[in-house]
């Protein structure tokens, strides 16, 4: 087991880090993009993992010089997600860390998902019983890569940023964690990438 005892708090991203839901999210984005006429690039959309849905629409509008309503596109993407009726699965490598340190180190989740969606996924996977501290896109004014999400989790946990380590699966999430002054361990294809760990200088 990865030794994280030097930290006072562990913060997890959700989609793609604790829960294997990125594939369904990408498929929902494909359907929404096709509906509105956005060119679809799976790699680009995966790179935006962790960015709140409405902000993703803003970025798509900028990239493709379109002007669709973020609310309208976000709602369509939500409808597409629900139509897939995806059964969420946990990612064993990170959930084993969560379970190992449960009750030993403070833990929270910082996600770019909307609160209702996040709670639904956490309840379906049973993770809501293990992690009660949750910050979502609904709770912050600036989503990832801004550090507000992770700083908010740390504040709720009563931990200094320098005492926290974040598990993330995207470069945008990694940037948010490091901008928050936290160490970050990347999760690649469901596996913890120890080479991706960044130890910030004191």
Residues 74 and 114 in one domain: no
Residues 154 and 188 in one domain: yes
pLDDT digits (tens, 9 = 90+) for 63-121: 999 999 999 999 999 899 889 877 888 999 999 999 999 999 999 999 998 898 899 89
Domain count within the chain: 2
Q: How far apart are CA 123 and CA 125, in angstroms?
A: 5
Residues 94 and 34 in one domain: no
Question: What's the whole-model pTM score?
Answer: 0.80
How many angstroms from the chain centroid is the CA of residue 69?
23
Q: Domain of 38: which CATH number?
A: 1.10.150
Domain containing 43: what range? 22-84
Residues 193 and 112 in one domain: yes
What residues are annotated to the active site?
13
Q: Last residue of a domain, which of 65, 84, 103?
A: 84
Whose CA is closest to 118, among 93, 146, 143? 143
Residues 191 and 117 in one domain: yes
């Amino acid at each position: 087991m990865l030794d994280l005892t030097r930290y006072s708090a562990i913060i997890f991203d959700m989609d793609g880090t604790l829960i294997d839901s990125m594939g369904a999210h990408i498929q929902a984005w494909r359907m929404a993009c096709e509906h509105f006429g956005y060119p679809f690039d799976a790699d680009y959309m995966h790179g935006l993992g962790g960015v709140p849905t409405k902000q993703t629409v803003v970025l798509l509008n900028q990239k493709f010089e379109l002007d669709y309503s973020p609310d309208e596109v976000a709602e369509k993407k939500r409808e597409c997600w629900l139509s897939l009726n995806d059964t969420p699965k946990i990612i064993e490598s990170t959930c084993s860390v969560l379970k190992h340190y449960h009750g030993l180190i403070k833990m929270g989740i910082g996600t770019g998902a909307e609160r209702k969606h996040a709670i639904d996924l956490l309840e379906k996977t049973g993770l809501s019983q293990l992690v009660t501290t949750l910050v979502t896109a609904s709770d912050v004014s600036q989503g990832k890569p801004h550090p507000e999400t992770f700083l908010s989790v740390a504040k709720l946990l009563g931990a200094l940023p320098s005492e926290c380590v974040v598990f993330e699966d995207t470069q945008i999430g990694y940037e948010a964690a490091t901008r928050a002054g936290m160490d970050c361990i990347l999760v690649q294809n469901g596996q913890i990438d120890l080479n991706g760990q960044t130890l910030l200088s004191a």
